[in-house]
Amino acid sequence: MIERIETNARASKIVKYNGVAYLTGQVGEGATIQDQTKECLSRVDALLSQAGSSREKILRATIWLADMSDFNGLNEVWNAWVPEGFAPARACGEAKLARPELKVEIIIDAAYD
């Protein structure tokens, strides 16, 4: 059975199916890539908890940067956030994001109990 959480006409914040929670893309506010990444990952933490999951159960992360020159700044925050020994499969690319002030968007798929 598919479970959709916090659904509106456009999207669900979480879709759960067959042991996997698919989180909608998260962004953050702030002037720097580090600030935006920290807030974005804080939002991911909240959704993981709501889905009955955690950082240790992340299967895959897809990361979009507005500018690949922010890659190192993103990784400073990401590397501190991911628990040692639990790094997910990850892809990171450059994309035009929904608003010009956004620097990063992170999409997570995670297992849940």
* DSSP result, the chain: --EEEEE-SS-EEEEEETTEEEEPPB---SSSHHHHHHHHHHHHHHHHHHTT--GGGEEEEEEEES-GGGHHHHHHHHHHHSPTT-PPEEEEEE---SSTT--EEEEEEEE--
The pLDDT value given to residue 90: 98
The pLDDT value given to residue 10: 95
pTM across the whole model: 0.96
Residue located via tokens 């990361």: 63
- For CA atoms 108, 23, 10, 18, give the dihedral sign: positive
Q: Say how far apart CA 30 and CA 37 lie, in whole Å.
A: 9
The pLDDT value given to residue 94: 98
What does the pLDDT look like over 73-96, one tens digit per residue?
Answer: 999 999 999 999 999 999 999 999
Q: Say how far apart CA 112 and CA 30 lie, in whole Å.
A: 30
Q: Regarding beta strands 20-23 and 89-94, do their DSSP bridges make them parallel or antiparallel, or are they unpaired? A: unpaired
The pLDDT value given to residue 68: 98
